[in-house]
């Protein structure tokens, strides 16, 4: 057996490091013999994450009556004087009759969530943020593709890449969120379509 206490250990050489405090790969003992636990920095919670934390706290207390905040009202009101009205009409005009039944179910789930949380300003803020994101992405990237006559496969891929996947991922990163993110985002997409805020044809 070797008498070298370092035998069998992997060694790492470092040079040129400039730090304030300890330079170590994990926990250390300082010069006074105190054990110092190394903890990786925690990324700050996103705004949606903070809102979901507040919503959870609010659910344990008495939710105060609050009118619809203006930002959410923009997306929940039905647009008047549209030639094609409602979710059925919009999807039918876009040649998407095969999606209508599931789309209606998803839309109704969102409507039920809004109705249930009618008096929660925190919930309204969350939904206003999410619907604004969906509307912006659809209007900026999906609608132009539809107008230039893109095939349904291309439109569906853009919806997934620009709307469903990134917004659902943001929801899934919220510790207090416990829903099915993809279904919720698509439900909001259909909710906005049904209220005539999004054009699919």
Query: What burial class does residue 130 get, using C-beta atoms within 10 Å of its C-beta: 0-12 exposed, 13-18 middle, 19+ buried?
Result: buried
Split at pLDDT 50, 70, 90, the class of 65 is: very low
Q: Are 28 and 22 in contact (CB under 8 A)?
A: yes
Encode pLDDT of 19-41 as tens digits.
555 555 555 555 555 555 555 55
CA distance 194 to 85: 7
Partnered with residue 71 across adjacent β-strands are: none
Encode pLDDT of 98-151 as tens digits.
999 999 999 999 999 988 887 788 888 899 999 999 999 999 999 999 999 999
């Amino acid at each position: 057996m070797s008498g070298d206490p370092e035998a069998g250990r992997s060694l790492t050489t470092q040079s040129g490091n400039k730090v304030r405090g300890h330079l170590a790969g994990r926990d250390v003992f300082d010069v006074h013999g105190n054990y110092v636990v190394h903890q990786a920095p925690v990324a700050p919670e996103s705004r949606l994450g903070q809102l979901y934390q507040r919503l959870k706290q609010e659910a344990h207390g008495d939710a105060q009556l609050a009118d619809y905040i203006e930002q959410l009202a923009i997306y929940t009101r039905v647009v008047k004087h549209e030639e094609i009205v409602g979710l059925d009409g919009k999807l039918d005009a876009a040649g998407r009759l095969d999606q209508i039944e599931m789309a209606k179910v998803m839309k109704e789930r969102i409507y039920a969530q809004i109705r249930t949380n009618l008096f929660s300003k925190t919930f309204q803020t969350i939904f206003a943020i999410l619907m604004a994101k969906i509307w912006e992405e659809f209007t900026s990237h999906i609608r132009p593709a539809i107008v230039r006559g893109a095939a349904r496969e291309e439109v569906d891929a853009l919806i997934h890449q620009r709307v469903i996947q990134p917004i659902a991922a943001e929801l899934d990163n919220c510790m207090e969120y416990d829903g099915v993110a993809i279904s919720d985002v698509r439900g909001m997409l259909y909710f906005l379509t049904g209220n005539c805020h999004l054009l699919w044809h």
